[in-house]
Amino acid sequence: MRVLPRKGLSRALGAVTRVGAPKSGVERAIDVFVRAYDVDLSEAVRPEGGYATFNDFFTRRLVPGARPIDPAVESIVSPSDGSLEALGLVGDDSSFEIKGKRYTPAELLGSERLAEAFRGGAHGTIYLSPRDYHRVHAPVSGRVLSVEYVAGTLYPVNSIGTEYVDGLFARNERVCVVQESETHGLVATILVGAIGVGRMSLAFEDLVTNAGTPARRIEYGEDGPFLEKGQELGIFNLGSTVIFFVDGRCKLDLEARVGTPVRMGERIATGRIT
């Protein structure tokens, strides 16, 4: 994996998926993909005339009501569809485990100062497979305080990558979105790129990764956009991983079970800052 031009391959693959002609080829590719991965298109918005490109299909929207958002004020919802790979508390040493590997919030967030807010708080990891819905949504209602694009490499995030690449999630490029919630305090949602998935974009900011974009940090302060729980936050242009952190002041009941599938909008934890 070390000798592969991972970011270049990802850019090339992304370019191919955004090509719209010939239409018959796009339709065949989508049909093969749907059959191979058992994709449920009954809940997808399908444009009149079909999807123009494979990427349009992959980043498809869902019909209204396909993902009900848990309405409880104290609930934290899953930001995406996928498999819940980890859910727990950040230890006293500020570390936690994902797939048998130890990480710290600072490694993933790219900021020791910001990581302090999540000491003793909760963390979760969701893996999106190729068949999943690939838009990411806000897990809580709150104002966006900052966005950090951390440039990195693009290792695969499947079982091979997580087993054999040390510090995988801290080495791959990622986008960290930090919200401030009246109920839950600071909540960070991290979109992690992967080989073939090195293109992520945000719904509220003109930022596209792995497109020659340098690392950057955007501080909004009080002028940041307010995202309601379940509102679209960003898009993976091929599948990957979402990691989230919840403020250490927030006393949580972690309700979802690790190793089970989750759907965007369903409750995974309940609590509030104390």
Higher pLDDT, 152 or 138: 138
Residues 16 and 124 in one domain: no
Residue 81 among the catalytic residues = yes
Residues 126 and 200 in one domain: yes
Cis peptide before 79 (omega within 30 of 0): no
Spot the catalytic one: 111, 123, 240, 247.
Answer: 240
53-92: pLDDT as tens digits: 888 998 999 999 999 999 999 999 999 999 999 999 998 7
Spot the catalytic one: 137, 141, 146, 184.
Answer: 137
Read off the pLDDT of each residue in 207-230 and give the average, rounded to a whole number. Answer: 83
98-126: pLDDT as tens digits: 767 788 888 888 888 999 999 999 999 99
Read off the pLDDT of each residue in 45-53 and give the average, rounded to a whole number. Answer: 91
- Written as one letter, the residue type at 21 is A
* Tokens describing residue 174: 């990622």
Residue 66 domain-assigned (yes or no): no
What percentage of residues in the chain have a pLDDT greater than 70? 79
Residue 222 domain-assigned (yes or no): yes
Domain count, the chain: 2
Taken in order 212, 217, 222, 227, is the CA torsion positive or negative? Answer: positive
Quick one: which H or E segment has residue 115?
Answer: helix 112-115
Residue 257's pLDDT band (boundaries 50, 70, 90)?
Answer: very high
Residues 220 and 93 in one domain: yes
Quote the mean pLDDT of the chain: 83
Range of the domain at 112: 75-273
Tell me, what's the pLDDT at 160? 42
Residue 139's pLDDT band (boundaries 50, 70, 90)?
Answer: very high
Could you identify the residue written with the tokens 């850019």? Answer: 11
**110: Cβ–Cβ under 8 A, 6 or more apart, which residues?**
148, 150, 176
Nearest to 17 by CA among 132, 138, 94, 130: 130
Nearest to 103 by CA among 186, 192, 181, 187: 192
d(Cα 88, Cα 256) in Å, to the nearest integer? 10
- What value does the CA radius of gyration of the chain take, rounded to a whole number of Å? 18
Could you identify the residue written with the tokens 């690449």? Answer: 165
d(Cα 198, Cα 177) in Å, to the nearest integer? 17
Coil, strand or helix: which one is 30?
A: helix
Residues 94 and 29 in one domain: no
Spot the catalytic one: 10, 81, 134, 184.
Answer: 81
Residues 81 and 198 in one domain: yes
Is this structure's pTM higher than 0.75? yes
Residues 121 and 41 in one domain: no
Residues 43 and 101 in one domain: no
d(Cα 181, Cα 240) in Å, to the nearest integer? 26
Residue 13's pLDDT band (boundaries 50, 70, 90)?
Answer: very low
What percentage of residues in the chain have a pLDDT greater than 90? 54
Q: Which of 84-93, 203-212, 222-231, 234-243 has the lowest mean pLDDT?
A: 203-212
Residue 184 among the catalytic residues = no
Residues 43 and 138 in one domain: no
Residue 148 domain-assigned (yes or no): yes
d(Cα 111, Cα 178) in Å, to the nearest integer? 12
Residue 19 domain-assigned (yes or no): yes
Q: Which of 42-46, 113-117, 179-183, 210-214 has the lowest mean pLDDT?
A: 210-214
232-248: pLDDT as tens digits: 999 987 658 899 999 99
Residue 65 domain-assigned (yes or no): no
Residues 92 and 216 in one domain: yes
Residue 69 domain-assigned (yes or no): no
Higher pLDDT, 56 or 16: 56
Higher pLDDT, 21 or 34: 34
Residue 137 among the catalytic residues = yes
Tell me, what's the pLDDT at 122? 95
Residues 136 and 269 in one domain: yes
Residue 142's pLDDT band (boundaries 50, 70, 90)?
Answer: very high
pLDDT at 161 over 60: no
